[in-house]
């Protein structure tokens, strides 16, 4: 589970976003790593534990609406994650950092196209 139960139904979009991640955010192989999702002011922060892994050992790709996080070391038993990249996430602004064995992905929201029209 990514969100605590008390937040699961607090807002419809948050529940839908959580459902999307829960159904597709499953390790594809190997053992699971701890994974956490937090809402930020400009989007979401996703943290995945990769203790003992260097940044050159990880590969993150986005293709066909999926972001794939893969440990590329030969013989690695770490899982490969497939994450949905929804319309609410701007795939061109995703950034990643690996520090102290924690991979942090900043998933920024797509800029709003909402415009208020002044009535004359």
Q: For residue 105, what pLDDT is reported? A: 93
Going by their DSSP bridges, the two strands 102-108 and 95-99 should be labelled as: antiparallel
pLDDT, tens only, 64-108: 778 888 888 888 777 777 777 777 888 888 899 999 999 999 998
In this predicted structure, what is the pLDDT of residue 28?
45
The predicted structure's pLDDT at residue 115: 72
Secondary element (H or E) of residue 40: strand 35-40
Pair 34, 50: CB distance under 8 Å:
no
What integer pLDDT is reported at residue 62 of this predicted model?
Answer: 82
1 has a pLDDT exceeding 50: no
pLDDT score of 96: 95
Over the chain, what is the mean pLDDT? 76
Residue 35 in 3-state DSSP?
strand
* Cα Rg, the chain, nearest whole Å: 16
């Amino acid at each position: 589970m990514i969100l605590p139960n008390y937040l699961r139904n607090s807002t419809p979009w948050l529940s839908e976003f959580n459902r999307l991640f829960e159904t597709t955010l499953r390790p594809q192989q190997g053992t699971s790593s701890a994974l956490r999702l937090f809402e930020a002011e400009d989007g979401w922060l996703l943290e995945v534990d990769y203790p003992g892994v260097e940044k050159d050992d990880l590969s993150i790709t986005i293709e066909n609406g999926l972001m794939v996080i893969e440990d590329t070391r030969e013989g690695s038993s770490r899982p490969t994650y497939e994450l949905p990249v929804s319309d609410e996430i701007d795939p061109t602004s995703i950034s990643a950092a690996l520090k102290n064995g924690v991979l942090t992905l900043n998933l920024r929201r797509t800029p709003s196209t909402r415009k208020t029209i002044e009535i004359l």
